[in-house]
Amino acid sequence: MTQDLKTGGSQGYLRIATEEAFATRELVDIYLRMIRDGSADKGMVSLWGFYAQSPSERATLIMDRLLDLDERRIADMDATGIDKAILALTSPGVQPLLDVEEAKGVAARANDYLAQACEKHPDRFIGMGAVAPQDPEWSAREIHRGAKELGFKGIQINSHTQGRYLDEEFFDPIFRALVEVDQPLYIHPATSPDSMIGPMVEAGLDGAIFGFGVETGMHLLRLITIGIFDKYPTLQIMVGHMGEALPYWLYRLDYMHQAGVRSQRYERMKPLKKTIAAYLKSNVLVTNSGVAWEPAVKFCQQVMGEDRVMYAMDYPYQYVPQEVRDMDAMDMSAETKKKFFQTNAERWFNL
């Protein structure tokens, strides 16, 4: 069945894409400044040294599309049958910025700009806010502003912040605020910190091809194993790229986690109320960004439940119309497919 790609739901569901990126010129210019003045880490040099400076077709097309939150994006959504896009400031956001005041200003202006675009296209765009985890109390206030004044439906954090992970007590105000407003955290990949990226960047494996997933999967595991969901049982954390491979690892994760806890090998590895598998089924949501692959979608549905797997395109980094057709054509009940494309996103983002 190759149905033509149309918006409007004539195929039985709306298509809601849940990991869609935009950039502001201000932020990209800061990345370029950091690359020039030597304050960028290796990952920023690799990622933004490419997208913001390469004359290649991939880089220039992606830059143009990232910077547009208006007609061009709507036209691309129309061309691929995407009814609604859940938008977030592209990775790594303001998290690498060394001047915390500057980081907060850039994030707040990006949030205002995104809110305006969502107001202009209310039936097409939905916003997730950006925060500056460098200042967790400010981020908590920005989460409340996003939820109450800007109409945002969650926040996106691009993995580590200058090598620091969200399981540190320092970042607790962010989780408290999310639970207060009852909104999800989307942990999006970033390039690995300098302490981890060496052998990956040397082989060209630091970005979306592999490094992103390894580092982000580890980040979520750090949060699960510190007991974040015992502390905040209603918190929902989303990750893209088919759960950054954690569903595939799950059996081994649980076996070795329990072995580690029993033997008290690591001070930090304390008993949890539930198994890692159980947290994936109660507190974690995955999207298929970058993975338009039926066996992987079905595997995640089988492991986590069909209510916890959502569609994402990862525009503009993976703008591939054929992938939408392939997901439409999955051999799956109409009910399950509607959950994947539409109703799971409506439920978990509270649309």
Residues forming contacts to ligand 1DF in the complex (CB under 6 A) are 21, 47, 90-91, 189, 207-208, 240, 289-290, 314, 317
The one of Mn ion, ligand 1DF, none whose footprint includes residue 291, by CB under 5 to 8 A per kind, is: none
Q: Which is nearer to ligand 1DF, 133 or 316 (CB)?
A: 316
Residue 248 is encoded by which pair of tokens? Answer: 């595939």
Q: Interface with Mn ion includes 83 (CB under 5 A)?
A: no
Whose CB is nearest to ligand 1DF?
A: 208
In order of 156, 228, 234, the CA distances from 166 in angstroms are 12, 10, 17
Q: What residue 208 binds from ligand 1DF, Mn ion, none (CB within 5 to 8 A, per partner kind)?
A: ligand 1DF
Is 189 or 243 the residue whose CB approaches ligand 1DF more closely?
189
Is 97 or 226 the residue whose CB approaches ligand 1DF more closely? 97
CA gap 338, 341 in Å, rounded? 5
Nearer to ligand 1DF, 92 or 136 (CB): 92
As measured in angstroms, the least distance from the Cβ of 304 to ligand 1DF is 20
Tell which residue, 248, 292, 259, 18, has the closest CA to residue 128: 18
d(Cα 79, Cα 201) in Å, to the nearest integer?
35
Query: What, of Mn ion, ligand 1DF, none, does residue 207 touch, CB below 5 to 8 Å by kind?
Result: ligand 1DF
Q: Which does 90 bind (CB under 5 to 8 A by kind): ligand 1DF, Mn ion, none?
A: ligand 1DF
Which entry of ligand 1DF, Mn ion, none binds 125, CB below 5 to 8 A by partner kind? none
Cβ-in-10-Å burial (0-12, 13-18, 19+) of 269 comes to middle
Residues 111 and 336: beta-carbon distance below 8 Å: no
- DSSP H helices, the chain, are 25-37, 42-51, 57-66, 71-80, 100-120, 136-145, 172-181, 194-202, 211-226, 228-231, 241-244, 246-263, 276-282, 294-304, 321-328, 334-338, 344-348
Provide the 10 A C-beta neighbour count for residue 95. Answer: 21
The mark string for 311-340 relative to Mn ion (x by CB under 5 A, - otherwise) is ---x--------------------------
Residues in touch with Mn ion (CB under 5 A): 19, 314
